[in-house]
Structures are given as C-alpha cells and as structure tokens.
Amino acid sequence: MSGFIQELMVPLQYEYMLRAIWVSALVGGVCGLLSSFVTLKGWSLMGDALSHAVVPGVAIAYIIGLPFALGAFVAAIMATGAMAFIRAQSRIREDATIGIVFTAFFALGLVLITKYPSGVDLKVILYGNIMGIAPADILQVVLISVLTVGVLLVKWKDLMLYCFDANQARTLGLKAGVLHMLLLGLLAATSVAALQAVGAILVLAMLVTPGATAYLLTDRFGKMMWISTGLGVVTSVAGAYASYFINGQTGGCIVTLQTLVFLAAFVFAPKQGMLATRLAVRRGIATTGEAAS
C-alpha cells in the first residue's frame, strides 16, 4: 500500500509538474467562472471563434519577438470588431458572420505558420505547452486571470442580467453595449490564457463544458458560478496530474475529464438529468391515468 502511495506522489516531486498543475488549476478556474456567463448567453460559437481567431496574432507575435499573449489579444479584438462591422453593415446572420471571420483568421494564422516555420511552433499554438510553460508566460496567465476574475466579481450581477435578458438590462438603465464589449473582452483575454494550457483547438471546451455541467446541477446562477469554477479547477488539476501517468497530452486529459463529468451530470443530475426527466414524465403519465380512471 505504501508503495502505491509513493508511486502516486512521484509527479509531485518534479517542479515542472507542480507548475503545470497549479497553472492548469488557475486557468481552469477562470475558464469555469466565465463559462457560466458563456452558457447563459449562448455564446459557445463565439468562444470557438475567438479561440481560433487568436492564431494569427500568436504567429505574428512569435515571428517579431513580442509576448504571444499581446498578439493573441490584439487578434481577438480585431476579430470581434470585424464580426461587429459585418453584422452591422449587412443582413448576414450572426452565426454565418462568426463562421466567416474565425475561419478567415485561423486560415491566415496557418499561412503565417507555414511561411515562417522556424519562428512559430504550431504544436504549441494548437495543443498548448503547459508542461514547458516559461516564467514570462506564467506571469501573463496570472495577470490575465486576476484581471478577469476581478472584473467578473465586481460586475457579475450586471453581466448576469445582460446575459439573461439584454432588453431588461436596458430597461433598468444598464449600458448593454458596454456590457457586450466587456464580456467579449473577457472572453478574448481568457482564451489567450487558456491557450497555454490546452491550445487553440480545445479552448472552447474549457469555456463551455464546466458551465453546461453546472447548468444541469442547479437553477440558481450564484451556485452555478461556484459549481462551474470548482469543476474547472478540479478537472484541470486531475487532468494535468493524470497526464503524467498515462503519458497523454495535458489539454486532452483535462477536456476528456470535463466531458466525462458532463456526461455523468447529463444522465444523473437530480432535476435536469436524463433519468430524472424520464422518471418525471412517467410519474406525470401515471398521475394522469389515475385521474382519468
């Protein structure tokens, strides 16, 4: 038994594993917190768009030697502005606009990467590099995370109302346009932070899955935020830890674990799970039958 415990403690003896675990926990918690708002607003496609739109910014930052987070954030803001401009100047639906812009930005990023292969590491952009994250990148992740959490804690009620009903928010005197841009900015910044942990391909999962899981487990938004944040932290820590033993890609382990937790909630959630819903339907049919007889 003692040998088994010692084996489990092996990853904690390496500095790079400890660093990867706590950075993953930080990113997972921030993504989980923001995930509640993304889920309530129905912005899963927007999250996917921004996570892919940052690729050319990262590529350019690598090429000219700037912090990749700066390039990624600028690219995300440009993509957001492009979506807003096309939407305002045409009759194209929002989903089509998002699809056009994010694929265009992603394609541009791939062109830059293939044009300057020695200056850009494609695997780092697409899959993340949490095990080899540099101190400068850790600082960027921490600053983005602190800023995002601070803004959400201060403005969460306004953002909640805006995500639930933008028209009601305007009626109460809130500036819906400002809240819209604020949420987009936070989404872009968090996508940049999560890029280090799971890469551009899997950022969407970290921004959607914890919130979707929490949505199945509670009807109150306050609890939903705490559950979503907790799920993001726990699954990120467990995924990073498990990746050592199975020799798997860290981001893939994290997202796979989050998906398994979602599936468990989807089936077994006490009120909104599949089993609970079917049981409620059967009880309703039985009650109706008894009343008819």
Band of residue 72 on the pLDDT scale cut at 50, 70, 90:
confident
Phi, psi of 42 (to 5 degrees): 75, 40
Q: Which domain holds residue 235?
A: 2-292
Number of structural domains in the chain: 1
- The pLDDT of residue 202: 78
Q: What is the tens place of the pLDDT at every residue in 131-171?
A: 777 787 788 888 888 999 999 989 989 999 988 888 888 88
Given a contact cutoff of 8 angstroms between Cβ atoms, the answer to whether 150 and 130 are in contact is no
Q: How far is CA 208 from CA 36, 61, 202, in A?
A: 8, 27, 10
Q: What is the pTM of this model?
A: 0.85
pLDDT single digits (tens) 172-193: 888 888 888 888 888 888 887 7
* E strand or H helix at 18: helix 15-41
Per-chain mean pLDDT for the chain: 83
Q: What CATH number has the domain bearing residue 258?
A: 1.10.3470.10
